[in-house]
């Protein structure tokens, strides 16, 4: 079977003209990416939109020196070329991949070990919604925080792409899931996705309600994309040996913390983001996620919810929606 198929010399992509608002996302024509050792070239059919894309656009998310400077961290499409030492992939395979930038484009070069086949009955939009969110949740909640069946799990922003992935994955593994969200509509959405308890953080005292729901046991694992003042509130309601996983700073990167309970009750506070992990670490996340959740995705028990799609050239409109926080689930760009 050939290791490449016919491709054009240039492609349409969306670049960041300069740091600023959504209007800074502009369609451009650029050369196709050159394949490095271990990479496959994907003709994209859909591209996930994520908060880090917004942060990169505004100049608050520095691009690693070895990364593709174009935005976009997850894609789904068809393999059209295979680089040296690129595993078992074949031209024509349908893949979803975690990119090191460069997703907002017709073609993206991706490390072969950061890709998975589309789950059964998934379309391109659903497949593109998996890598960034589901890899992040798996890494932080299961690999690092070791969430187990029967434990109480709290996720903030439960109606977001990350929140939805966390609810479904934790529930599938037998955890008792508490989700916060900013409206009754979003809380109902979280319940529909499998949450056992939802809390409207705008109208309700989420720490007190969460602690009461655990019948005094406390929360075992928290996935926190807010940080800021939330961290101390989480410490106050953690169970003995509780684990807090920080993945973003929507509430600010600084917090004043009383470490007394951290020491007394052996609470672990950890933090990570996906992009700076090494190729080997990302490959391990990819492999272990597939081993533990691949069948669940194939069976439809774990699946993203696509809120709205936009053509690639309308990436600026997708960012306006993302920043409004009006969405529930995932925003995806599509490519004809």
Residue 89 CA to residue 83 CA, distance in Å, equals 10
Domain 10-130+275-334, CATH among 3.90.180.10, 2.30.42.10, 3.40.50.1980, 3.30.420.40: 3.90.180.10
Residue 203 CA to residue 176 CA, distance in Å, equals 23
Largest CA distance in the chain: 63
Q: Residues 63, 333, 318, 73: what is their CA dihedral angle, to the nearest 10 degrees?
A: -20
- 334 neighbors 312 (Cβ within 8 angstroms): yes
267-325 pLDDT tens trace? 999 999 999 999 999 999 999 999 999 999 999 999 999 999 999 999 999 999 999 99
The pLDDT of residue 316 is 98
Percent share of the chain, pLDDT over 90: 95
CA nearest neighbour of 239 among 178, 314, 330: 178
Residue 5 CA to residue 91 CA, distance in Å, equals 7
Q: Is the pLDDT of residue 238 over 90?
A: yes
247-270 pLDDT tens trace? 999 899 999 999 999 999 999 999
Domain boundaries, the chain: 10-130+275-334, 134-271
Cα dihedral 167, 302, 250, 311 sign:
negative
- 251 neighbors 227 (Cβ within 8 angstroms): yes
SS3 55: helix
* Mean pLDDT, residues 15-30: 98
Distances (CA, A) of 281 to 14, 278, 285: 28, 5, 6
Q: Is the pLDDT of residue 217 over 80?
A: yes
Give the residue carrying structure tokens 């369609």. 27
158-207 pLDDT tens trace? 999 999 999 999 999 999 999 999 999 999 999 999 999 999 999 999 99
- 138 neighbors 288 (Cβ within 8 angstroms): yes
* Mean pLDDT, residues 114-127: 98
Q: Is the pLDDT of residue 57 over 70?
A: yes
Under the banding of pLDDT at 50, 70 and 90, the label for residue 108 is: very high
Q: Is the pLDDT of residue 4 over 90?
A: no
Under the banding of pLDDT at 50, 70 and 90, the label for residue 2 is: low
Where do runs of H (alpha helix) occur along the chain? 51-58, 124-128, 131-137, 161-172, 184-192, 206-213, 230-237, 260-264, 279-298, 315-324
Average pLDDT of the chain, as a whole number: 96
Under the banding of pLDDT at 50, 70 and 90, the label for residue 62 is: confident
Q: Is the pLDDT of residue 1 over 60?
A: no
- 149 neighbors 174 (Cβ within 8 angstroms): yes
Separate counts of helices (H) and strands (E) for the chain: 10, 15
The pLDDT of residue 6 is 79
Superfamily per CATH, domain 134-271 = NAD(P)-binding Rossmann-like Domain (3.40.50.720)
CA nearest neighbour of 54 among 316, 329, 326: 316
For residue 301, what is the DSSP state?
Answer: S
- 35 neighbors 41 (Cβ within 8 angstroms): yes
End-to-end CA distance of the chain: 25
The pLDDT of residue 5 is 77
- 72 neighbors 47 (Cβ within 8 angstroms): yes
Q: Are strands 268-271 and 238-246 parallel, antiparallel or unpaired?
A: parallel
Query: Residues 256-284, buried b or exposed e (16+ Cβ, 10 A)?
Result: eeeeebbeeeebebeebebbebeeeebbe
């Amino acid at each position: 079977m050939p290791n490449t198929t016919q491709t054009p010399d240039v492609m349409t992509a969306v670049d960041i003209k300069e740091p600023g608002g959504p209007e800074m996302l502009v369609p451009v024509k650029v050369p196709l990416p050159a394949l490095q050792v271990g990479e496959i070239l994907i003709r994209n059919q859909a591209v996930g939109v994520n908060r880090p894309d917004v942060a990169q656009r505004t100049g608050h998310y520095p691009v690693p020196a070895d990364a593709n400077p174009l935005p976009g961290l997850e894609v789904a499409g068809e393999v059209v070329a295979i680089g040296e030492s690129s595993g078992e992939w074949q031209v024509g395979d349908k893949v979803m991949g975690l990119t090191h930038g460069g997703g907002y484009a017709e073609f993206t070069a991706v490390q072969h070990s950061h890709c998975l086949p589309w789950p059964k009955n998934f379309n391109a939009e659903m497949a593109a919604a998996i890598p960034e969110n589901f890899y992040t949740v798996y890494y932080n909640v299961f690999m690092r925080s070791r969430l187990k069946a029967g434990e109480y799990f709290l996720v903030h922003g439960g109606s977001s792409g990350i929140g939805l992935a966390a609810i479904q994955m934790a529930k599938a593994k037998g955890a008792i899931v508490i989700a916060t969200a900013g409206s009754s509509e979003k809380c109902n959405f979280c319940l529909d996705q499998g949450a056992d308890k939802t809390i409207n953080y705008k109208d309700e005292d989420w720490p007190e309600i969460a602690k009461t729901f655990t019948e005094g046991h406390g929360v075992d694992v928290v996935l926190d994309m807010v940080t800021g003042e939330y961290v101390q509130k989480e410490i106050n309601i953690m169970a003995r040996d509780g684990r807090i996983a920080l993945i973003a700073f929507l509430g600010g990167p600084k917090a004043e913390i009383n470490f007394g309970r951290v020491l007394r009750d052996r609470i672990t506070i950890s933090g990570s983001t996906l992009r700076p992990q090494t190729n080997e670490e990302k490959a391990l996340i990819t492999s272990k996620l597939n081993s533990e959740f691949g069948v669940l995705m194939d069976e439809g028990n774990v699946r993203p919810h696509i809120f709205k799609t936009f053509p690639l050239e309308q990436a600026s409109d997708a960012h306006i929606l993302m920043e409004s926080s009006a969405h529930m689930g995932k925003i995806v760009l599509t490519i004809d």
